[in-house]
Chains A and B, each alone.
Chain A
Amino acid sequence: MLDKKRLRPAKVGTLLLGKGTGVGMVIILCLLGLRAPLFFDITNIMTILKQGSVLTMIALGLTAVLIGGGFDMGAGALVQLTCNLTAGLLIAGAGTAAALTSGITVGIGVGAVNAFLVIVMKIPTFVATLGTMFIMQGITSWYNGGKALTINSIPGFAVLGQGRIAIIPVIFLIVIVVCILMNYFFKHTKTGLRMYASGENPAAARLRGLNTRRYLLLSYVISGLILGFTGVLQCSYNYGASAITSGMDFLIQALSAAYLGSTFSKTGELSVIGTVISGMFIAALSNGLIINGISNQQISGVLGIILILSILLTVIKKREIGQVTIF
């Protein structure tokens, strides 16, 4: 009898996988709100949605690559690059449309370069994107000369990151629209489902006759598009671009969001909606911790722990040594 009742780690893992993530998130947020009632104020909730939007967009861009079976170390760096570029263009007097197109073009361009390195040159995804990440960081700090580029409020442009419709931030509505589009693409179109297949098991997909390289290319381009657009949003949200070029903090939060999102599914499958919920959860968590008086320095540590825990939830069932075949 005792044997049957003993909780085996794998069973706990299955249980947590089924319901745990959602319940855990609600409990954590409730605890944070209990100590600081201000947390559940409607204006604060709207602020959280606004704060979390850029992060969620980056996580969505990363999710696109991860679904296609790639990896992107340079997601944060790309957002910083396009953000700086947009700020520079706006300072030089370009219009909103020009800034938007150039940001998206650069994003798609970088995605294409990544795809070229991975698919044609056969460089492992991790190393290729690491290389482009350094190059982007270099270009960013060369472009802004180590200074923050601050823009004045431009009416048409500021709406993107600062505007509100009724009480809801515009930037959050953009996230919702992108999320719906991506969810439709990945779950309800032939191309999207095939991208899932070729990312999940490239060998099987190839045997089934899919051109996995094409889907990888597509996932890098989609991700580049989203990340380029995110840079523009970030510029509008931030009133310009900060001088920090690395974007590593963005990367870790976006990775956490993507992997935490995958714990919603029973099989640990990445999903667009899961990513959005987790991205907003991470933003809410940062906000709640700050309201509760935890300093900014400790938050990155908390996020690191969340990243590890969220991935632990998905791997606890299928434990193998944590090798990453990225070389």
Chain B
Amino acid sequence: MTGEKKALNFIARHGAVIGICCVLLIFQMIEPRFMRIDNILGVLNSSSLLIVMTFGMTMVMAVRGIDLSIAQVADAAGVIAAMLILSGKNFAAAIMGALLFGLLIGIVNAVLISYLGVPAIIGTLGMMFVVRSAELTLTNGAQPQILFTLPAARVKHFFFIGQENIGPVSVLILLTVVVIVVMYFVKERSVFGRYMDAICNNVRSSLLAGINVRRVFGATFVISSLLAALAGVMLVSRSGNAVPRGVETYLTDCFVAVYIGTLVSSRNKFNIIGSVIGALFVGFLSNFITLMGMGIAYKNIFNGVFIILAVALGVLKSRVNA
């Protein structure tokens, strides 16, 4: 094997891990506050909802679908939860309302895309705009729904998810760990997950093998909308107010996280553990940009560069493997 080939092989195998570590190290060198323990805990806390949202995208993308509506669903679910609390409902009703909304959108998406055959990218893009316009109409032109000014007794239970600690760990992180474990078993260790892999590899042969392709494909959209709604509730509970259109930027973060996640798997598959790593990386990246006082412009550029780098590395990897 020539030296050049060896180098290519090495980059393909370990490039992602080395790259991520290098980027984090460089950040640390530029900004010494970066790796302080309280900063790391803060990043973990704020990345938790990105992780939950990323899982939805991972599930959909693992069967070669795509869901552009998740950020908007998270947004609207948060607003719905906040409005229910403001109108005097208790916390359980608010959370259930938000999750039901996610379920509803997920089912509509599934019917449109899996049963009627609308291409996923068009169907969910359309849905994103429908949800957005419903949300803006509902909130009278994007008025923020403020919860933290309410009397503490009314919002105490609702804020428990986002602002309390059990022992040293925050409830938000614990909840995320539960979601990670559940999703790991659904995606990597269950029959359903195997069906998803089969559909990803070859739709026709999995149909012949007796898998209900439409149902599995549709189910991923329901899961992704549900998780998005959960993330929306987590965010509102953490920040204490719901600003319409405030979650929209998370969509781009999800893409970066999911694509970085594929590099963790040896065959470039979309996988849960990878998505966690990807989401944490994105969390640290945004944190660094905030610490340095750089604006949205740099964040967008970083996002774009990392997506292209991640996918290019993935392509290189599959070529070396082949």
Contact = CB atoms under 8 A, between A and B. Distances in A.
A314 to B, nearest CB: 10
A123 B312 contact: yes
A134 B301 contact: yes
Given A134-B303, A252-B125, 15 more contacts: A121-B312, A134-B307, A138-B304, A297-B133, A298-B133, A299-B133, A304-B128, A307-B122, A311-B119, A312-B112, A321-B213, A322-B112, A323-B63, A323-B65, A324-B119
B301 to A, nearest CB: 3
Contacts of A295: 137
A204 interface: no
Interface stretch (A18-26, A34-42, A139-147, A216-224): A139-147
B88 interface: no
Contacts of B300: 134-135, 137-138, 141, 245
Contact of B120 (A299, A305, A323): A323
Contact of A321 (B66, B113, B127, B297): B113
Q: Chain A: interface residue count, which band?
A: 35 or more
A155 interface: no
B126 A131 contact: no
B64 interface: yes
Contacts of A137: 300, 304
B286 to A, nearest CB: 13
Q: Which 7 A-B pairs have the closest CB atoms?
A: A301-B133, A134-B304, A304-B129, A138-B300, A138-B301, A135-B304, A142-B297
Interface string A105-126: 0000000000001000111101
A308 interface: yes
Given A298-B137, A311-B119, A323-B63, A127 B304 contact: no
B5 to A, nearest CB: 18
A93 B249 CA distance: 35
A85 to B, nearest CB: 15
12 contacts: A128-B308, A142-B301, A255-B122, A295-B137, A301-B129, A304-B126, A322-B120, A323-B203, A324-B65, A324-B120, A327-B61, A327-B64
A113 to B, nearest CB: 10
A135 B296 CA distance: 11
B218 to A, nearest CB: 8
A133 B120 CA distance: 20
A307 B305 contact: no
Nearest to B262: A327
Contacts of A193: none
Nearest to B312: A121
A36 B141 CA distance: 25
Contact of B116 (A142, A307, A319): A319
B311 interface: yes
A298 B312 CA distance: 40
Contact of B126 (A133, A298, A308, A327): A308
B255 A130 contact: yes
Contacts of B123: 308, 311, 322
A303 B127 CA distance: 10
Nearest to B112: A308
Contacts of B213: 321
Interface in B271-302: 295-302
A196 interface: no
A132 interface: yes
Nearest to B307: A131
B133 A304 contact: yes
A320 interface: yes
B169 interface: no
